[in-house]
């Protein structure tokens, strides 16, 4: 991954570590402890907030909400045992 995208792997590694080594007070661990329903709910909420930000045509809001969505998607990936390689392999099929 290029330097611009290395942060995605870094966040993925932190989320993976939180799952393997829970840290008290961690929001990520809260999501894991609540389970898949909570994780999916947050993904849905963040997706809706991306849509609202786009409709508001506010670049700062859009950037913030997309980052939130990506973070929650990473939590979902880790929870379901997916990796960036899995996602990239799927995307390559769509070229």
Kindly report the CATH number assigned to the domain that includes residue 74. Answer: 1.10.287.1080
| Confidence (pLDDT) at 2 | 58
Query: Which range marks the domain in which residue 19 is found?
Result: 3-93
Cβ neighbours around 17 below 10 Å, total: 13
Tokens 């330097």 belong to residue: 3
Q: Round to whole Å and give the CA distance between 2 and 55.
A: 30
Does position 95 have pLDDT exceeding 60, yes or no? yes
| Confidence (pLDDT) at 4 | 84
| Confidence (pLDDT) at 3 | 77
Helix (H, G, I), strand (E, B) or coil at 21: coil
Domain total for the chain? Answer: 1
Which residues, 6 or more positions from 36, have their beta carbon under 8 angstroms from its beta carbon? 79, 80
| Confidence (pLDDT) at 1 | 47
**With contact defined as beta carbons under 8 Å apart, do 75 and 31 qualify?**
yes
| Confidence (pLDDT) at 53 | 94
pLDDT digits (tens, 9 = 90+) for 55-87: 999 999 999 999 999 999 999 999 999 999 999
pLDDT digits (tens, 9 = 90+) for 17-58: 999 999 999 999 999 999 999 999 999 999 999 999 999 999
């Amino acid at each position: 991954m290029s330097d611009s995208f290395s942060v995605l792997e870094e966040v993925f590694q932190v989320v993976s570590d939180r799952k393997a080594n829970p840290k008290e007070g961690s929001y990520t661990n809260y999501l894991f402890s609540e389970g898949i329903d909570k994780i999916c709910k947050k993904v849905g909420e963040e997706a809706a907030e991306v849509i609202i930000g786009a409709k508001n045509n506010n670049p700062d809001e859009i950037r913030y909400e997309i980052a939130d969505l990506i973070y929650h998607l990473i939590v979902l990936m880790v929870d379901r045992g997916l990796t960036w390689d899995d996602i990239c392999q799927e995307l390559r099929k769509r070229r």
